[in-house]
Amino acid sequence: MKGLVKSLNNIKGTTRVCGLIGNPVGHSISPVIHNTLADLMGIDLVYTTFKVEDDQVEAAVKGAYALDILGMNVTVPHKQAVMGYLKEIDPLAEAIGAVNTLARVDGGYKGYNTDILGLARELEEENVCIKDNPVLIIGAGGAARAIAFLCASRGASSVTVINRTVEKAQNIAGAVNGYYGIDLVKAVSIDQALDLKGDGYVAIQTTSVGLYPDVDNVLIKDENFYRKVGAGVDIIYNPYTTRFMKILGEQGKPAYNGLKMLLYQGVAAFEIWNNCSVSKDMADRVYESMKEAMGINE
Ligand code: ATR
């Protein structure tokens, strides 16, 4: 982590501070993303983590503002709670109901959801097109909800949320359809998903099934399901190639993990804080630093 060491040696009286609030935060890769970006772009900024207890979220946000902290990322378990203490909230983040980035504005912070901007940028980079395409979202947790809003906002031709607990998928469908006043999102059980008609689906895997150490597992095992998929994204990045991605790969379909989503959620936050634009070349270099820090050799 050469970049990180260089940043720490360069801290001066003018250095702006950004950081991550959450609990726990010690495992976070975000310091590598932001300190590498600051080094590469010659921006006088340092990024660290702040462990914040549940009953201290308001104090943390107000204290950060008082200390002139430029921007914050927010992670589990505070992505909803933080919304109560902001000056403004970006409409997509408001609709999703989760904020992971705070940017300093007059009198407080404005909240954004760059997790979802990160996924959008990964999809763009990999030429996985949401617009006018049918999308399958596997899972119905917080990530799935955000992705359903993204798909509706980017003009997917249909969105099907597949979940073991179908009521949770129905909640997401109701929230997105209600917000946009459309009938785009539908909810199905895993069994019903096996009978879906059509092909060329963009499938986005959002469950924790397949996450290390459960690396040989996948939520939908029937390989016929994957014949209807044109391209897939698994938001898991540990392992680097999940079982979900392997099945698609064996069928000659493109499949991507969630590491670029993680990269680009950071890049998007950095761009908002510093009012700058991070080039593809810079982003690629940050991606290499992340992989090095995480011990990924693929
Ligand atoms: P996040 O907020 O990160 O998206 P979450 O809210 O914990 O995560 O949601 C996890 C998702 O993984 C849910 O869709 C969950 O299914 P249920 O809603 O039925 O619980 C799904 N999931 C996790 N483990 C699962 C398993 N062993 N089998 C089927 N689904 C599973």
pLDDT exceeds cutoff 50 at 280: yes
Catalytic entry in 51, 79, 87, 131: 79
pLDDT exceeds cutoff 90 at 236: yes
Rounded to two decimals, the pTM is 0.94
How many percent of the chain have pLDDT more than 90?
Answer: 96
pLDDT (0 to 100) of residue 275:
98
**Ligand 1 nearest-atom number relative to CA 165:** 19
Query: For residue range 6-23, what is the model confidence (pLDDT) as tens digits?
Result: 555 689 999 999 999 999
Mean pLDDT of 58-87: 98
Q: Indicate the top mutation candidate among 138, 164, 189, 206 to test ligand 1's pocket, ranked by most ligand atoms within 8 A of CB.
A: 164
Distance 164 CA to ligand 1 centre (A): 8
Within 8 A by CB and 6+ apart from 205, the residues are: 138, 139, 219, 232, 233, 234, 235, 236, 242, 244
Report the candidate in 247, 266, 172, 176 with the shortest Cα–Cα distance to residue 209: 247
pLDDT exceeds cutoff 60 at 189: yes
Mean pLDDT of 73-87: 98
Mean pLDDT of 247-255: 98
Is residue 137 within 6 Å of ligand 1 at its C-beta? no
pLDDT (0 to 100) of residue 108:
98
pLDDT exceeds cutoff 50 at 2: no
pLDDT (0 to 100) of residue 9:
67
pLDDT (0 to 100) of residue 8:
58
Report the candidate in 110, 55, 144, 120 with the shortest Cα–Cα distance to residue 265: 120
Q: Indicate the top mutation candidate among 206, 208, 235, 262 to test ligand 1's pocket, ranked by most ligand atoms within 8 A of CB.
A: 208
Mean pLDDT of 268-287: 98
pLDDT (0 to 100) of residue 172:
98
Is residue 45 within 6 Å of ligand 1 at its C-beta? no
**Ligand 1 nearest-atom number relative to CA 143:** 4
Strand order in the sheet with 88-89: 45-51, 16-22, 71-74, 101-105, 108-112, 88-89
How many percent of the chain have pLDDT more than 70?
Answer: 97
pLDDT (0 to 100) of residue 3:
47
d(CA 202, CA 138): 11
The band of 110, judged by pLDDT with boundaries at 50, 70 and 90, is very high
pLDDT (0 to 100) of residue 10:
81
pLDDT (0 to 100) of residue 298:
87
Query: For residue range 141-166, what is the model confidence (pLDDT) as tens digits?
Result: 999 999 999 999 999 999 999 999 99
Strands 201-205 and 229-234 come out as: parallel
Is residue 162 within 6 Å of ligand 1 at its C-beta? no
The band of 1, judged by pLDDT with boundaries at 50, 70 and 90, is very low
Residue nearest to atom 27 of ligand 1 (CA): 209
Question: What is the 3-state composition of the chain as percent helix, strand, coil, each rounded to the nearest 5?
Answer: 45, 20, 35
- Across all residues in the chain, what is the average pLDDT? 96
Structural contact between residues 9 and 44, judged by C-beta atoms closer than 8 angstroms = no
Mean pLDDT of 264-283: 98
